Structure 1
Amino acid sequence: MRSTADRIRQAVSFELLGIMIVTPLFAWVFNHPMGDMGVLVVLGATAATAWNYLFNLGFDHLLHWCRGDIRKTMLLRVGHALLFEATLLVLLLPIFAWWLDTSLIAVLAMELSFAVFYMIYAFVFTWGYDTLFPPQRAQGAA
């Protein structure tokens, strides 16, 4: 298991490294000034973090209200992940389009690219982090 300090180090380093990679990359790919893209990347990361908390809180309350239980099946987990991403997209799409002064379709392509990038980045980052900072075994584990 990881300690609280290690989990904080992992989360902060994930976000900072992600911002450092995605800001210049997406500024170049989508031909927008790095400052504009940087604001959006930080806004997106902050919004995703806050929305993650609120969405999961609401989702768990809804599950508990409907089923009396918050355990999730694999199908429910897939639906949960897709619904989270879709609602985040709906929340950020108009803000990004306004900030970049571009069409919703162009921003939709950008948002989908962000999602694909972060899915791959999360896999690679976590693998690298676990290699550099192996998690400690839980007490009693063999």
Structure 2
Amino acid sequence: MRPPLDRLRHALSFEIIALFLIVPLGALAFDIPIYDIGIVGIVSATIATLWNIIYNFTFDVALKRLTATTLKTARVRVLHAVLFELGLLAVLMPYLAWYLDVSLWQAFVMDASFALFYIIYALGFNWAYDALFPLPEWKGAVVCE
């Protein structure tokens, strides 16, 4: 399993890169001032970073108990990304509605759009991260099977 500093590097680099992508894309897609999307992005990224650390640790513990390894297959990576985003969606939707002064339905549509982006982004980011920073227990295994 990954040590705490590696998990912190993972979580911070994930969120920083995502912010550079999602803020301009979100402002463009939803016709909302970049400042407001930026604030939403920063608050959301902060919450997501904390969720990321907790979720990934919990997921890895469960995966290791079930399979005796933390090496993820493509199917497990998809499940990992979808479950992460569903948990985050439940937390962020009320915040979006409040801060942007939109209905819960509008917040849901926005949050679902962001979640779709993040599912694809998380899948690619985590695959790349594991390839760049493989764990010793994976020696000889194919990280991208």
Q: TM-score with structure 2 length normalisation? A: 0.64
Q: Deviations over 1:35-72 (max 9, x none)?
A: 111111111122223345667899xxxxxxxxxxxx56
Q: Deviations over 1:84-123 (max 9, x none)?
A: 6445333322221121111111110111111111111112
What are the ranges of 5 or more consecutive residues in structure 2 without an aligned counterpart? 59-64, 68-74, 141-145
Q: Given the superposition, is the C-alpha separation of residues 103 and 127 from structure 1 closer, same or farther in structure 2, using an over 3 Å criterion?
A: same
Identity %: 42
* Residues 89 and 111 in structure 1, CA contact (< 8 A), matched pair in contact too: yes
Q: TM-score with structure 1 length normalisation? A: 0.65
In structure 1, the residue matched to 2:28 is 28
* Residues 23 and 37 in structure 2, CA contact (< 8 A), matched pair in contact too: yes
The amino acid of 1:25's aligned partner reads L
RMSD: 4.2
Q: Map 1:69-88; keep pairs closer than 5 Å.
A: 71=65, 82=83, 85-88=85-88
- Structure 1 residue 124, shift from structure 2 partner: 2.0
In structure 1, the residue matched to 2:72 is none
The amino acid of 1:36's aligned partner reads D
> Structure 1: which 4+ aligned runs deviate by more than 6 Å?
54-58
In structure 2, the residue matched to 1:17 is 17
- Within 1, Cα distance between the matches of 2:21 and 2:107? 19
| Bigger RCO (CA 8 Å, 6+ sep) | 1
- Within 1, Cα distance between the matches of 2:110 and 2:93? 9
What are the ranges of 5 or more consecutive residues in structure 1 without an aligned counterpart? 59-70
Aligned residues: 130
- Within 1, Cα distance between the matches of 2:90 and 2:100? 16
